[in-house]
A and B are shown apart, each in its own frame.
Chain A
Amino acid sequence: MIAAKISQFYNFLHNAPPKQKIFFGLGLGVALEVAFLNFHDSMVFWFVAYGFVTSVLLFLVLTNIFKKSLSSFFFVLPALAIFSIFYIYPFFKVLQLSHHAWDGISPKMLFVGLGNFREILQDRIWWVSMRNAGYITLVALTLQNVLALSLALACDRQIRAKNFFRVIFFIPPVLSEVVVGLIWRWIYDGDYGLLNHTLGLIGAQDLARSWLSDPKTALTCVAIIHSWKGFGWGFMILLAGLQTIPRELYEAARVDGANVWQTFRNVTIPLMIPVFVLVMILTILGSMQVFVLILSMTGGGPGYHTEVPVTRILASMQGSSMFGYACAQGISFGLILMMVSFVQMGISRKLKQA
């Protein structure tokens, strides 16, 4: 009886329209925040909030388990416990810290309510870093994915040594980001760099410059290397997607007189939309969080020209010892990424329907 009721409630939530789900999620978030602002010092609140979220997780597991057998629940319990301790608890801890001014060491924390979040809204450098990450993402979405798709299309055909090329194209992603950053730093070097040397050889020495120290080129240079480093993932996923398209569809299109472009537009693209969406979401999430490459190539400079949100979070935490503010930046950044992903998924749903 209880199992049926739980299942019924779960199905109601599961089948709710997307807008209702968003409202429900926002309502839950606002309720949690209001409760948090009022009862932040109460251990009871923390116990209840942590217990509530863990219970929701338990509920989701149980509704699926009831469909099978209760004994299965015990097999899931260890994973559930690990998830609760290592994901839910840290989330609450970060949420708690984001509402405090704390240096990361002192035993006392000062509650500042939404002060850290208000400061983020006024922090010009934070938004500059968001814009820089957006630019890197834009370059990755275009350059990186176009390159990945072109190479995937090439390797999907019957060409010689295609396995060799597959391996070659997948080398950049498996290289350490620090190593890639340092190698490219040398290539871009203003005095002894390979790029300037090559420009000199072809008579274009006027274009030579300190690529990573010039505010006009630093961010683009980093974005290009990020795309070079990351295209292999897109290549592999797109290639796998291309190989799932039945060959008969291409043959049918050819019989109907379709040329290469028409086949690509009317067969490949529609069937690849779910894969494109996946690659785009992964590209956005990966590019917005770019970090190691920046540290090894420019350290965020010159000025703030290559600062990205993660380097700002690190600067708040380590450089300024503002742990609370850094946590608030982390939560804000996470929310922005979630929103971007939701929008992306909404667009993909619409595209699929079309």
Chain B
Amino acid sequence: MKKTILVALLGVLAFGLVMAGCGTGQGPASTGKKIMVWHWMTDREEAFEELARRYEAQTGVKVVFELYAPSDAYSQKVRAAAQARALPDIFGLLGEKRDFAAFIKAGHIASLTEAMNASGAAWKGMLFEKALAVNEFKADNPFGVDAGIYGVPIDVMNIQMLYNKKLLRKAGINQAPATWSEFVDACAKLKAAGIQGLVSGWGEIWMIDCLASNFAFNIMGPEKVFATFRGEVPYSDPDWIAVFNLFKEMAEQGMLANGIVTMVNKTAEQNFANERSAFAFNGSWCVNVYHGMNPELEYGVMLPPKVNVRNNAYIWGGAGSSLLVNDRSLVKDDAIAFLKWLTDTEQQAYLSETTRNLPSNRKVVGKLPEVLSEFAKGTDNVTHPNVWPVNELPKVIERFDKGIQSVIIGEKTPERLGAELTALKKEEMAKK
């Protein structure tokens, strides 16, 4: 009897196992392929992991996202890995266009031009042109890189000014300022009401560079700025002095938050989120940051105030974060296929919704929250150093940004800064 029961139980067990084996799973069987992705985006870690799970369920290809933060540490890791030829299949690159070019020339980054242009350029057509431009090298680029697209934007960003609606109302300001004089007046009213004016992370000097170049483009137009970079216009030119004078005026009129010259952007974000300053200069990534810090924050987005009302207002923007494919990857084609999937409408909508960033896929734009839509309106005014035909020399950029810090703290006059930069530019040009 016992024997019969045992045999019956074993039979049931075997039947169950056979049925389980024959059953249809939720996704395809594992292909055994694995794609390794390195990134620095702490705010997107969970969303990436969820997307990796979905991709594995759909294709059987495992995607592993490895996060390395902060961004400085990430940059060092990527450089060290490049030197050791140990880069992952997909990675992001932080730096200027010349760094991007150096990686391509060293054979670390695969060209995506063919994949982008396949099937009537379906992939390329799906993405915002300005976001792609940051990852593109034109035929006559100064870096000597073969023309083509080398990166995939996974989101779009731009850097604009933000204003706290509540604080502006408190100071009796009904409308966000559009011109420089309106901005000065608004800051004067805020100061009278005991509210700080503009806050930004100018301890991170690239943010000073960003606003200064916005003003420069507006005052003198892009061509004259590029002529300066080529060494044809000196920094002592009245238009450049006018740019430096704006910072002097902001400092002298008390329009800036205390300690702004050594403030990192995270502190500046806390300052604005806690309603200590009425204006902020920050990128579209701030929507997610402010939401985390103060979900009740009532704010709007505006372009930097126009100094020259006849010219356009310019802002930095384009690709927020881009991912690149390692040209030496053993699963290069799979990596490209994954990036194509990642930038498809459904995944982009998910990323945009969960991380509050502007998507790089143009079809998702209609589904954005209000503040992000306001950021998206600035897309027509976007420019970026990575798409300029010429870039300033690194030493001059550093001295330019630090020099503006010196103007803000009253250590240098705009004229002195202009003269110093002109002399430095000559020295650096002579070395070339």
Which of A's residues lie within 8 Å of B, judged by CB? 103-107, 189-191, 210, 212-215, 218, 297-299, 301-304, 315, 318-322
Contact = CB atoms under 8 A, between A and B. Distances in A.
Given A191-B276, A322-B394, 16 more contacts: A104-B79, A104-B102, A106-B106, A191-B258, A191-B259, A212-B259, A213-B409, A214-B409, A215-B411, A299-B264, A302-B261, A302-B262, A318-B72, A318-B76, A321-B98, A321-B102
A contacts with B: majority SS: loop
Contact of B405 (A107, A212, A301): A301
B75 A298 contact: no
Contacts of A214: 409
B106 A212 contact: no
B234 interface: no
B291 interface: no
B259 A107 contact: no
Contacts of B237: none
Nearest to B72: A318
Contacts of B411: 215, 302-303
B262 A212 contact: yes
B76 A303 contact: no
Given A103-B98, A105-B82, A320-B395, A303 B258 contact: no
Interface of B: 72, 75-76, 79, 82-83, 95-96, 98-99, 102-103, 105-108, 196, 203-205, 257-264, 276, 394-395, 398, 402-403, 405-406, 408-409, 411
A161 B102 CA distance: 61
Given A302-B409, A321-B98, A105 B259 contact: no
A303 B264 contact: no
A106 B100 CA distance: 11
24 contacts: A105-B82, A105-B83, A105-B99, A105-B106, A191-B257, A191-B276, A213-B260, A213-B261, A213-B409, A214-B409, A215-B409, A215-B411, A218-B262, A298-B262, A299-B204, A303-B406, A303-B409, A304-B402, A318-B72, A319-B394, A320-B398, A321-B99, A321-B102, A322-B394
A320 B395 CA distance: 7
Contacts of B82: 105
Contacts of B257: 191
A191 B194 CA distance: 12
A210 B254 CA distance: 13
A106 B83 contact: no
Given A301-B405, A303-B406, A190 B204 contact: no
Contacts of A318: 72, 75-76
Contacts of A215: 409, 411
B258 A210 contact: yes
Given A103-B102, A104-B79, A105-B102, A320 B394 contact: yes
A218 to B, nearest CB: 7
B259 A299 contact: no
B417 to A, nearest CB: 11
Contacts of B263: 213
B356 to A, nearest CB: 26
Nearest to A321: B99
9 A-B pairs closest in CB distance: A190-B258, A320-B394, A105-B102, A210-B259, A302-B261, A213-B259, A303-B406, A190-B259, A299-B203
Contacts of B276: 191
B321 to A, nearest CB: 19
Contacts of A320: 394-395, 398
A341 to B, nearest CB: 28
Nearest to A185: B267
A319 B102 contact: no
Contacts of B83: 104-105
B102 A213 contact: no
B90 to A, nearest CB: 18
Most central of A104, A213, A304, A322 by chain B CB within 10 Å: A213
A214 B262 CA distance: 9
Contacts of B95: 321
A321 B394 contact: yes
Contacts of A298: 203, 262
A218 B405 CA distance: 14
Most central of B106, B276, B403 by chain A CB within 10 Å: B106
A189 B263 CA distance: 10
A83 B249 CA distance: 57
Nearest to B402: A303
A32 to B, nearest CB: 25
Contacts of A104: 79, 83, 102
A53 to B, nearest CB: 23
B250 to A, nearest CB: 14
B259 to A, nearest CB: 4
Contacts of A315: 398
Contacts of B398: 315, 319-320
A214 B105 CA distance: 44
B409 A105 contact: no
B257 to A, nearest CB: 8
Nearest to A101: B431
Contacts of A297: 262
B97 to A, nearest CB: 11
Contacts of B258: 189-191, 210, 213
Contact of A299 (B262, B408, B409): B262
B164 to A, nearest CB: 16
A318 B105 CA distance: 19
Most central of B95, B262, B263 by chain A CB within 10 Å: B262
